Structure 1
Amino acid sequence: MVIGTLAEELARGVGRVGDTIGGTFFEPVIRLGVTGLSRAGKTVFITSLVANLMDRGRMPGLVAAAEGRIEAAYLQPQPDDAVPRFDYERHLAALTAAEPHWPDGTRAVSQLRLSLRVRSTGLLAGLQGPRVVHLDIVDYPGEWLLDLGLMEKDYATWSEGMLMRLEGRPEPEAAAYLEAARAARDKADWTEPEAQALARAYTDALGAMRKAGLSDTSPGRFLMPGEMAGSPALTFAPLPREGAPPRRGLWREMARRFEAYKTRIVRPFFRDHFARIDRQVVLVDALGAIHHGPAAVADLSRTMSDILSAFRPGQNSFLSQLLRGRRVERILFAATKADHLHHTQHPRLTAFMEALLRQARDRAQYAGAETRAMALAALRATTEETREHQGRTLNLVRGTLLDGRRAAFYPGELPEDPAQLLSAAESGAARWLDADYDVMRFAPAPLTLRTGEGPPHIRLDRAAQFLIGDRL
């Protein structure tokens, strides 16, 4: 076992060295991680990004494209044989169909390689021809990223934190689970159906919290189990701390399964995927959180802190041992669905994201990769209009709702000072005092794309410039 582990680590280390040498002297590779919490728009972001890098007419903010130095962009077979390919063609077909619809969301890790043939600048331009830069896009659920925080917690600490989060929640599923957890305290004799019932009740509580707009629903795989559904590693739940739990009691078994979850699910994911990422974009449904109220915004702020902590390995942390000198160089936190607001509101949405990021940096004591906040729409689904209503001038967005109806929509105005939202969230306010913020879900608009143009977007070109522009 020890020899096998050493051999595996040696092979992985040789692979990392090979990647570094190959990227330096031959064809550089940028590994871009794309993640976000449920319904943040990861699939649409990747699909539109790839389409707009292949047809760059709408990418003036990407300097290499504006200067005409990207001569070609083409898809290639992905380099990792064991990772499913991101189904770009099917997702693009869904967005560009005669009756377009949103593609299925991210449920597991997938990958896509886009290769760019780029002319160099400066002195090198006259000494060498175009070079090829490979962009490996790795798509994974944001819920899995939050699992990194579990690696440095024991079961008792994790349980205490999650039970505190459930206390006082208005969802009946949360109250039902707390009652079941208290009934399971000091349980020495238990059966597997009882353990499964507790795990299901806890998962139901997490699902209810997700519907209420909360971001951190730990562990990440409970709502996205995939092929691990029903396994013992996903059949545990938080229980109240016990002074001297019985050796074969339920508390000890839950603790054992918690450790198995970390060892068999969390660690392999970060070892095989996360540890190889160079650049990262975290997509955030900030408008959805604002719509759900102060509690959802406070939870989003804590979640962003946890995400930044995942990119700030301590000297002796699990992640520092895993990365072995590698680090993510740039992280973009992007508020998606900016097309749900009139463009006059975009600076306020960006300011809100910047304030959230600043707060998250302070809370996580973060010092590491370069970070930036932005508001964008990977695929623009609305148009804008202005109307007079009861003596007021309203800036509206118009689009097609999911049920097929056309609607003009006024969601309310975000405050100029984002502290108005953050202070209410931090103080535990039940609702916003001076406004109600609403969000409607629009379907993608029918597209008529001209030759050389990708799908319409808002600031996707600026996001690409921050994430990969310096490497082109």
Structure 2
Amino acid sequence: MFGGGLDGGLGGILPRAVDGLSQLAARLAGGTLRVGVTGLRRSGKTVFLTALLHNLLNAGRLPFLEVMAQGRFLASRLQPQPDAAVPRFDYERHLADLMGDPPRWPEATRAISEIRLALRFRTQGLIKYRLAGDSTLTLDLVDYPGEWLLDLPMLGQDFATWSAQTLDLATREPRAALARDWKAALSGVDPDAKADETLARHLAKLYTDYLQACRSGPIGLSLLQPGRFLEPGEMEGAPVLTFCPLPPPKSDWTGSLHGLMADRFEAYKDKVVRRFYREHFARLDRQVVLVDVLSALNAGAPGLDDLSRSLTATLESFRHGQAGWLSWLGGARIDRVLFAATKADHVAADQHGNLVSLLESFLADPLAGIRFTGAEVRSLALASVKATDTVLADWKGRQLACVQGTPLGRDAPAVIFPGEVPGSHLDLGPSGEGRFRFTDFRPPPGLGRDGRGLPNIRLDQVLQFLIGDRLA
């Protein structure tokens, strides 16, 4: 009887306990992480993902990723697409662009995509190794157009609120000049008039032209909604993309032009934005936010202000906070957020500290808000693919830290003094426009041919912060 009790009692409990401990060890080391690569247009999301994958697949140029430095990294392999309904990130094509002859930067992201990578490694510590043995961390990496990201704040607005905000922005320069044709057409429209499909499409076309002008203008404005008007993807031509902001009506009847636009605004939120958020963003575990600070600096204070507005508004839509043991009950929360000032190789190495300080200064409020939720936050300067070298040049007896690389539009390398990066957006003055002229560079020839991974600046530190704890 005693033997039977042991076999059915403790004998059954002990294997389950060991199995539970093994599962716990596997959770602490390995498991699956869903990482969202967030950033507005031209922030370098495609290049970042390509360089990250290439370096992890080749186990090279990542000296500060602890699992590599400690010799515990075993191997990595691309896995089948995790979601059959979402296109796969075209890693091979983007890598071929960078390693081509001549090399070129990959095309910008125009639709959502995902890719899965499995990392095999030895766990750290004798007890954990005996419980779990070698472990595998599965990374699901999500890429999407920056324009789509800007739709998330619309979820908390109705048509009247969004219209008032957007019309107000269009009264300020540099938007006011770009909105002239759309505003002129709008001035002759009665929001209370009977709904007219031809007029609705005409106004939506003029509004889309205005958004395109804002994006392609010298300042390259970021806060442009709805994002699908700029990157419609498979929804091009759909009625849900034919609305625009309107002044408030005098009455409220469903058959009016205002009523039609309001209905389409709500349909856009429901069928496009909410669905996109629910299927992709609500499941993120970690987040990297790529920010092209240098392009915003070239545009002066208006460019930085617009970038700050865009990022602040969109980050409020994410679920930040520590992911507890029972986080699966209420959906995942993002427990680590990394902010990276991209294209750090476009300035001399001694300016990277100022680049990070500038990023943190104009994002002070959202950074503080995320930290308050309990999520871990870090900022750094990053070059996903290093296109220049820092060199010293003599100018009138002074040693200047310069960058050497091949500027876009040229065929020969040049040594350029990019100037100094201000440590705060408050140092720009009232405008700052025309003060900075940071240069874009071509990718250098021969990238990745040594088999060590694409050369980069601080990609290993990015990975250590985002996934290092799951590779322990």
Q: CA deviation at 1:162?
A: 0.4
Distance 2:106 2:415 in 1: 24
Distance 1:383 1:364, change over 3 A: closer
Select 2:389's aligned residue among 383, 394, 398.
383
Does the alignment pair 1:430 with 2:437? no
Q: CA deviation at 1:216?
A: 1.2
Deviations 1:115-165 (A, max 9, x none): 010110112124442111111111112322221211111000000000111
1:166 aligned partner: 170
1:157 aligned partner: 161
Does the alignment pair 1:194 with 2:195? no
One-letter code of the match for 2:79? Q
Is this contact kept in 2: 1:308–1:361, CA < 8 A? no
One-letter code of the match for 1:202? Y
Q: Give unmatched runs, 5+ long, in structure 2.
A: 1-22, 322-327
Distance 2:180 2:254 in 1: 28
Distance 1:448 1:34, change over 3 A: closer
1:11 aligned partner: none
Is this contact kept in 1: 2:35–2:140, CA < 8 A? yes
Deviations 1:7-36 (A, max 9, x none): xxxxxxxxxxxxx99984996111111121
Is this contact kept in 2: 1:169–1:175, CA < 8 A? no
Select 1:244's aligned residue among 244, 247, 251.
251
2:344 aligned partner: 338
Distance 2:214 2:289 in 1: 21
What is the aligned-residue RMSD (CA, Å)?
2.6
Q: CA deviation at 1:82?
A: 0.8
One-letter code of the match for 1:238? P
Distance 2:394 2:27 in 1: 59
Deviations 1:33-56 (A, max 9, x none): 112111111110000001111122
1:7 aligned partner: none
Report the 3-state secondary structure (helix = DSSP H, G, I; strand = E; otherwise coil) of the residue aligned with 2:120.
strand
Show the 5 A alignment for 1:204-353: 204-211=209-216, 212-312=219-319, 324-353=330-359
Q: CA deviation at 1:243?
A: 2.6
Deviations 1:257-278 (A, max 9, x none): 0000001101111111111111
Is this contact kept in 1: 2:36–2:287, CA < 8 A? yes
One-letter code of the match for 1:303? S
Q: CA deviation at 1:232?
A: 1.1
Distance 1:349 1:127, change over 3 A: same
Q: CA deviation at 1:402?
A: 2.7
Distance 1:144 1:412, change over 3 A: same
Distance 1:159 1:445, change over 3 A: same
One-letter code of the match for 1:88? Y
Distance 1:313 1:177, change over 3 A: farther
Deviations 1:335-372 (A, max 9, x none): 11001001011110011112233233357895242222
Select 1:47's aligned residue among 32, 47, 50.
50
Does the alignment pair 1:71 with 2:77? no
Q: CA deviation at 1:242?
A: 1.6
1:134 aligned partner: 138
Is this contact kept in 1: 2:195–2:260, CA < 8 A? no
2:182 aligned partner: 177
Distance 1:41 1:26, change over 3 A: closer
Distance 1:273 1:399 in 2: 38
Is this contact kept in 2: 1:312–1:366, CA < 8 A? no
Show the 5 A alignment for 1:314-463: 324-362=330-368, 367-406=373-412, 407-421=414-428, 424=429, 429-431=430-432, 436-447=435-446, 449=448, 452-463=451-462
Distance 1:261 1:411, change over 3 A: same
Q: CA deviation at 1:384?
A: 2.2
Distance 1:257 1:152 in 2: 16
Larger Rg: 2
Distance 1:27 1:373 in 2: 25
Is this contact kept in 1: 2:362–2:424, CA < 8 A? no
One-letter code of the match for 2:150? L
Distance 1:323 1:179, change over 3 A: farther
The TM-score, its normalising length taken from structure 1, stands at: 0.87
One-letter code of the match for 2:367? R
Is this contact kept in 2: 1:56–1:452, CA < 8 A? no
Deviations 1:221-280 (A, max 9, x none): 111111111111111100111231443111111000000000110111111111111111
1:319 aligned partner: none
Is this contact kept in 2: 1:85–1:111, CA < 8 A? yes
1:3 aligned partner: none
Q: CA deviation at 1:103?
A: 0.9
Deviations 1:320-342 (A, max 9, x none): xx993421111111111001001
Is this contact kept in 1: 2:191–2:246, CA < 8 A? no
Is this contact kept in 1: 2:28–2:470, CA < 8 A? no
Q: CA deviation at 1:439?
A: 2.2
Does the alignment pair 1:60 with 2:63? yes
Distance 1:312 1:152, change over 3 A: same
Distance 1:170 1:448 in 2: 39
Distance 1:161 1:366 in 2: 28
Is this contact kept in 1: 2:283–2:331, CA < 8 A? no
Q: CA deviation at 1:213?
A: 2.4
1:105 aligned partner: 108
Distance 1:220 1:274, change over 3 A: same
The TM-score, its normalising length taken from structure 2, stands at: 0.87
Kindly, what percent of the aligned residue pairs are identical? Answer: 47
